[in-house]
Structure 1
């Protein structure tokens, strides 16, 4: 039993929402231990992964029997899976059931990266994602998780929603997982109960309105806006649908549900008609508290397609010419559809289909990362980056060595590992065929190039 009692005002709020009888079931459920769930990276196969109970609305999601030490699993550090709450994986079902066009997506409040890695997986090689986080240190965590996921179809930015004003009508989908009062996390995070108050709910609702006011026009004609919270109250959920539809032109979207999922559909009357929200209650669903809604931008709304920039100018990014891009792809064994930018001495690769978009985005956003950082060029040789190792791009030009679990953990601790008969030069180290990073054999010693800021502490 949790020692942190539910606030009285919260109890009254939930009794009003659920009724006295159902509230008792809700309270019992919220005092039970939360289940752990993960979502596999469909672009990185984990050999011998024992598929446990599947999450019904996610093709790649699974409940675990117990919570292991993820820190001591090299597959986790390799981006083989992401530890994510089951309810929020419902976004995968939304994307697939609506067959959302794989264009330019925006995750406006993206850290630590659970929903961004989900969107990245859905987009694959066909789309591109802007994963934005307003708080700088959280943007660094987001950057690390995006690099480890490894698909190379994401730009990480560190901006306030108002900085997107020049990008109206540019996104096929905008996801706003809004900062909220966290009622849905009362089971997983007892401290959230202490921080909750009716005044805090009001404050969160004010922030959510500000975010929606600055982002409602970012969706292009025919595109979608997804709004979600991890809270139960109507002020932060249904009322935000009413606010959004008063401020912007949107059409309702109804998401198909399997009755066995026990997700509750909420009908919201607005001046523009009836809209729909979806509620996840812990006494009904194997997951935490969650609310989500989908709205569609009408076909007569603005659509912005960035044009080719003749003379690209940026205060710290340098564009690489087409011939040199082709040469780099040829040198590194890539498929030949990449374009490159140079930041200081390091080269970053993106799919050339999204070059115009990155040109446009870089003029308005504070970029923290994009595509795949390949590394630096030293004469005719390349100094490969950790991001290239963790990416799904080919690494055929390098020798590979398979590590045991203990060796992999030593590598992730940034310890130097001794090998017999290791080839000289750069060597890609792997655990169960999943790349982890680089070591360099200098002959008399090997250097571990795992990033210092990512290393795991001795446990």
Structure 2
């Protein structure tokens, strides 16, 4: 039996809708394992497994495999994500059906909700995936890159920085830092760190984050707030305070009763996920609409803007992709491809907040040579005449470890490496050897 943190059991008994004994028993069990399939990179290995009811491409697994030894995982063909948090898919598809939107995932790392939004939002939408803690940005960038969606900006800014984009976003998702009690059976560190004082500290931080980011939400548009905490102070109390202090109203959603999601909070318009009631971890979510926004302080520190590629360079990169619907910008030595129809929006974002990645890494120019970037391989935006060499599992894992490959498998020049329909990255064959261009920081170490 688990030794619960001091005060936790008494605290848990006071939370809305808790079936105390049943919930404690469920927290003694193994966490449910679930993945979400990348809609643009279908993988056949999960066919026939039970589906997550509130997420179109969510799947439950019978056990937790070693994901690092599956080339599909490295290719971004699926994302390992806790099932309850996939409810965001149901929310977005119910509220945003046709028109492209501008969305912000404020507390985005490691990238589960951002990659979900890439697939759930209407075609042509753009997403800012933000993480304020710099040490967590690298993981976010890697997961966004592997997912392969071109209309994503990755930034690293405090919530207050987005006041420099007043009334800009149609959707803001705040999956707020919390005390983590809903993840006790999945994350032992969350249990070790839990205490009532930390709950209060998290609630204060959550309220500050929400107040700071609200000026960036357009009037009439949607704020989604979620946590992985059971604590009312971090959940319903935060929503009640928001409704009182801001021009927000609850958005009521259609949720089938058989999903066993608990309706709670103001107007019964919030949702609690309890692991004794459903297959998922502890989770809370509420959706609000902004009736009217207050005038925002438009002052902000202008950021250094990337430079548009020269006409000559842009044509060379366009030739490599075989598509004319993008524009190319340079940061330091790298060249990034942005969707042409969103160029103005992207420049606004780059001017207002510190951006670390925008669009797809097309690559880098070295003298007269173009070195294609890993993002280009992951996105599928490469020229269709570039050869793709599919490897067996043993060779694919060697590629992911950056080990030597058999030159006889490849054609001269640049090729893409694939496995079972999924693209893994680039190689270049030169006389007598293969240069492996899989990113060193992503390499498989097992």
| Structure 1 length-normalised TM | 0.91
Tell me, yes or no, if the aligned pair for 2:407 and 2:429 is still in contact at 8 Å.
no
Q: CA separation of 1:301/1:374 partners in 2, compared to 1, >3 Å: closer, same or farther? A: same
Could you say what the CA RMSD is over the residues aligned between the two structures, in angstroms?
Answer: 2.2
Deviation at 1:275, TM superposition (A): 6.3
Paired residues for 1:383-398 under 5 Å: 383-398=371-386
Deviation at 1:329, TM superposition (A): 6.2
Q: Which residue of 2 aligns with 1:317?
A: 306
Match of 1:454 in 2: 442
What is the match of residue 271 of structure 1?
none
Change (3 A) 1:316 1:444: farther
Q: Distance in 1 between the 2:403 and 2:418 partners?
A: 15
Match of 1:197 in 2: 195
Q: CA deviation at 1:303?
A: 11
Q: Does 1:54 align with 2:42?
A: no
Partner residue in 1 for 2:36:
39
Task: Describe the SS at the equivalent of 1:209.
Answer: helix
Corresponding position: 1:277 with 2:270: yes
The yes-or-no answer on 1:411 pairing with 2:399 is: yes
The aligned residue for residue 144 of structure 2 is 146
The 5 A counterparts of 1:113-192 are 113-123=111-121, 125-192=123-190
Question: Structure 1 275/303 Cα, relative in aligned 2: closer, same or farther at 3 Å?
Answer: farther
**1:378 CA displacement:** 4.6
Shift of 1:191: 2.9
Shift of 1:6: 1.6
**Matches of 1:421 and 1:163, distance apart in 2:** 50
Aligned equivalents of 1:238, 1:125: Cα separation in 2: 33
Deviation readout 1:270-304 (Å, 9 max, x if unpaired): xxxx4621000011010000000000112x54799
Shift of 1:220: 0.6
Q: Counterparts of 1:400 and 1:23 in 2: how far apart (Å)? A: 55
| Aligned mate of 2:256, from 255, 258, 273 | 258
**What secondary structure does 1:216 align onto?**
helix
Q: Kindly tell me: are residues 301 and 205 of structure 1, through their superposed partners in 2, closer, same or farther at Cα, counting changes over 3 Å? A: closer
Please, which of 45, 68, 72 is the counterpart of residue 71 of structure 1? 68
Cα deviation for residue 195 of structure 1 reads 1.2
- Asked if structure 2 preserves the Cα contact closer than 8 Å seen for 1:124 and 1:153, the reply is no
For residues 119-153 of structure 1, the C-alpha deviation after alignment (integer angstroms, 9 at most, x for no partner) is 11123641110000011110111000000000111
How far, CA to CA, are the matches of 1:121 and 1:15 in structure 2?
38
Q: 1:334 Cα shift? A: 3.5
The structural deviation recorded for 1:326 is: 6.9
Question: Do the aligned partners of 1:326 and 1:336 also contact (CA within 8 Å) in 2?
Answer: no
Cα 1:449–1:187 shift into 2, 3 Å: same
Q: Is the 8 A contact 2:229 2:284 kept in 1?
A: yes
Superposition deviation, residue 205 in structure 1: 0.6
The 1:25–1:349 alpha-carbon spacing in structure 2 relative to 1, beyond 3 Å, is: same
Judged with a 3 Å threshold, the aligned counterparts in structure 2 of structure 1 residues 267 and 280 are, in CA distance, closer, same or farther, namely same
- 1:365 to 2:353 alignment: yes
Partner of 1:340: 328
**Deviation string, structure 1 residues 188-244 (Cα, Å, up to 9, x no partner):** 123322211110101101111110110122211221000000011110001111221
Quote the Cα distance in structure 2 between the aligned partners of 1:19 and 1:284: 11
8 Å CA contact retained: 1:227, 1:294: yes
CA distance in 1: counterparts of 2:124 and 2:386, whole angstroms? 27
SS for the counterpart of 1:134 is: coil
CA–CA distance in structure 1, aligned partners of residues 312 and 125 of structure 2: 24
**Of the candidates 82, 94, 102, which is equivalent to residue 91 of structure 2?**
94
Q: CA deviation at 1:424?
A: 1.1
Paired position in structure 2 for 1:423: 411
1:288 aligns with 2:281: yes
CA contact (8 A) 1:213 1:247 kept: no
For residues 35-55 of structure 1, the C-alpha deviation after alignment (integer angstroms, 9 at most, x for no partner) is 100000001122454230000
- 2:97 paired with 1:104: no
**Partner of residue 309, structure 1:** none
Structure 1 residues 86, 75: closer, same or farther in 2, change over 3 A?
Answer: same
**Which residue in 2 is equivalent to 1:310?**
none
Structure 1 unmatched ranges of 5 or more? 269-273, 307-312
The aligned counterpart of 1:234 is 232
Distance 1:330 1:384, change over 3 A: closer
Change in Cα spacing, 1:455 to 1:259, as seen in structure 2 (3 Å) is same
